Amino acid sequence: MSEFWRRAFIYPVYLFLIALFLWVTAGALPAALVFGIGMALQYFAHLRNLAAFNRWLADPDTRSVPDGTGLWVDAFSQLNKLTKRRRKEREQHAAALLQMEQATSALPEGVVILGEGDRVEWCNPQAEHHFGLDGERDVGQQITYLARQPEFVQYLAQNSFAEPLVLRGMRHDDLVLSIKLIAYGSSKRLLISRDITHLERIETMRRDFVANVSPELRTPLTVVNGFVETMQDMPSLENDMARRALQLMGDQTKRMEDLVNDLLTLSRLENEQNILHEEKVDVPGLMDTLLEEGRVLSNGQHQLKLELESTSGLSGSISELHSAFGNLVTNAIRYTPPGGDILLRWYEQPDGHTVFCVRDSGIGIAPQHISRLTERFYRVDRSRSRETGGTGLGLAIVKHIALRHQAQLNIASEEGKGSTFSIVFPAKRRIPADDPTAIS
């Protein structure tokens, strides 16, 4: 028998024995009386302990657990130990939470925890500042009710958050935020906002600088180039050295002119006011032109082929698409040794996307360079790029043009074997060859 039951029965058993003794010596009535009073006293003691327990339960945080009497002593002592342990754990959790809160408050980024239905569960002071939230008042409110910018609402509704959203004028016109969502748990999302106002200002200054300085450079370059060409043509120029010097000057001014032209193209593409000029682009026709241009550039050194698997056209800018496709073809020729093959393809994917693709059997690109190729002036082999007349801006231009057409530039390459550059256009840009409603 356990200790509890031994102690529980000891009192009634003793009381019963005393009552039995009284029954034998003094009769049934005194025995029943003593037994009844004894049991009533025990019942009363239980009630007192229960009342003390109830009082404690009503306010367990400030009251200490009662000592209790009889059988209750053990139970209360266990409860006391348990509450002390819980209190300690709670203090530890509160300290950890405070530390977390202090850490997230010190973060330069705004952090909002969104629960079911994008309702605000918690936010740090930076997020309060970015979105105009109140960390206490707005808990439980839908974030799209508090921050209603359409592009923000749209971003929350979509399910891919790989690219951050740049949001302008969230609280006042000058504020520019970079927003990122991270899903976690079963239905929670972490909204991270970063103030990129300063970065945007620097980026605008850089863009303005390039846009302003490029035309300034263009004029003197044209003049110098003109003089160099005139002097080269002078019949009286016999000195070999002067001829070589003029040849070099001519090459270098040509390089600088190409560079300035590419810089101007890039700043035009980057200019947000320069909206895309939409027209119907006859891609199969354009591909024929590209093939001709490629053959002239290759000068018979490569096998150029064309595979037209679709007759569709595109809605977009002819000049921009010509420039982007042309850049890829030119690169394929420049980075493929003589005798190599170059294939131009235009095809449709089962999902409706249309793809322009250039495959070459050239020098290829090592995997570590691929993600950086579209950065301005990023070159794998500087001298080869220069020798073949590269400015280092070609792929940056291609990427910008692709972006302006909501298309994606994909690069697959193997060093020593060749590369495939594809531009994948969204289905909404495809114009079937016989579509009479298409833009003309």
Residues of this chain that interact with ligand ADP (CB under 6 A) are: 331-332, 335, 360, 362-365, 373, 378-381, 385, 390-396, 419
Q: How far is the CB of 306 from ligand ADP (least distance, A)?
A: 17
Residue with Cβ nearer ligand ADP (339 or 350): 339
Question: Quick count: other Cβ atoms within 10 Å of Cβ 244?
Answer: 10
Q: How many whole angstroms separate alpha carbon 309 and alpha carbon 354?
A: 10
**Integer Cα distance of 333 and 321 in angstroms:** 18
Length of the chain, please? Answer: 440
Whether 298 contacts 388, CB under 8 Å: no
- What is the closest distance, in whole angstroms, from the C-beta atom of residue 259 to ligand ADP in the complex? 10
First and final CA of the chain: distance in angstroms? Answer: 98
Spatial CB neighbours of 356, under 8 Å, sequence gap ≥ 6: 283, 287, 325, 328, 344, 345, 346, 422, 423, 425
How many Å apart are CA 127 and CA 191, to the nearest integer? Answer: 9
Structure tokens at 350: 């089962």
317 vs 419, which CB is nearer to ligand ADP? Answer: 419
**Closer to ligand ADP by Cβ: residue 80 or 301:** 301
CB of 263 to ligand ADP, least distance (A): 12
**Complex with ligand ADP: residue 249 or 412, whichever CB lies closer:** 412
Residue type, 232: Q
Nearer to ligand ADP, 193 or 330 (CB): 330
CA 206, chain centre distance (Å): 24
- Nearest C-alpha neighbor of 53 from the set 89, 32, 36, 77: 77
CB of 331 to ligand ADP, least distance (A): 3
Edge-first strand order for the sheet with 418-425 is 303-308, 341-348, 354-360, 418-425, 408-414
Nearest-approach distance from CB 294 to ligand ADP, in angstroms: 12
Query: Whose Cβ is closer to ligand ADP: residue 400's or residue 429's?
Result: 400
Q: How far is the CB of 380 from ligand ADP (least distance, A)?
A: 3
Q: How far is the CB of 345 from ligand ADP (least distance, A)?
A: 14
> In the complex with ligand ADP, which residue's Cβ is closer, 165 or 373?
373
